[in-house]
């Protein structure tokens, strides 16, 4: 399912379309974000349609429709990305995913 990307994303900045009705969309509050990447591997596009029948949901795609954000809708907070939110996060302006993760952690019941 995971394969070497046809083109390395290391050091690239890309626009990502966030799909409505997803946790990612709820977190970002917008239909598109621009993020910095540091990866050479990603979801093999041949398996992307198979995810639609399972629990893992694609919630963000690049301009070619390839997965860049995935999530488990039934989980309190399971969001995986090919980009690194910590690269654009600042103390006074944390990345939306980092803020959402911390908020989810604070709501954990002992």
Which pLDDT score is estimated for 6?
A: 66
Please answer whether residues 61 and 67 qualify as being in contact, where contact means their C-beta atoms are separated by less than 8 angstroms.
Answer: yes
pTM of the model: 0.86
Domain ranges of the chain: 2-106
Please answer whether residues 108 and 77 qualify as being in contact, where contact means their C-beta atoms are separated by less than 8 angstroms.
Answer: no
- Element holding 39 (H helix, E strand): none
Which pLDDT score is estimated for 20?
A: 96
2-106 folds as Rossmann fold (3.40.50)
For residue range 52-103, what is the model confidence (pLDDT) as tens digits?
777 889 999 999 888 899 999 888 899 999 888 887 888 889 999 999 999 9
The C-alpha angle 38, 43, 48, rounded to 5 degrees, equals 145
Q: Where are the beta strands (DSSP E) in 8-78?
A: 13-18, 32-36, 41-43, 57-61, 67-71
3-state secondary structure of 34: strand
């Amino acid at each position: 399912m995971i394969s070497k990307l046809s083109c390395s994303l290391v050091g690239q900045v890309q626009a990502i379309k966030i799909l409505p009705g997803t946790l990612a969309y709820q977190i970002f509050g917008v239909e598109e974000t621009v993020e910095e990447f540091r990866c050479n591997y990603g979801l093999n596009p041949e398996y992307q349609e198979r995810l639609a029948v399972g629990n893992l949901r694609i919630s963000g795609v690049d301009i070619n429709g390839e997965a860049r954000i995935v999530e488990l809708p039934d989980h309190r907070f399971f969001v995986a990305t090919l980009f690194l939110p910590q690269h654009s996060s600042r103390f006074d302006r944390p990345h939306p995913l980092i803020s959402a993760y911390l908020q989810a952690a604070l709501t954990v019941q002992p």
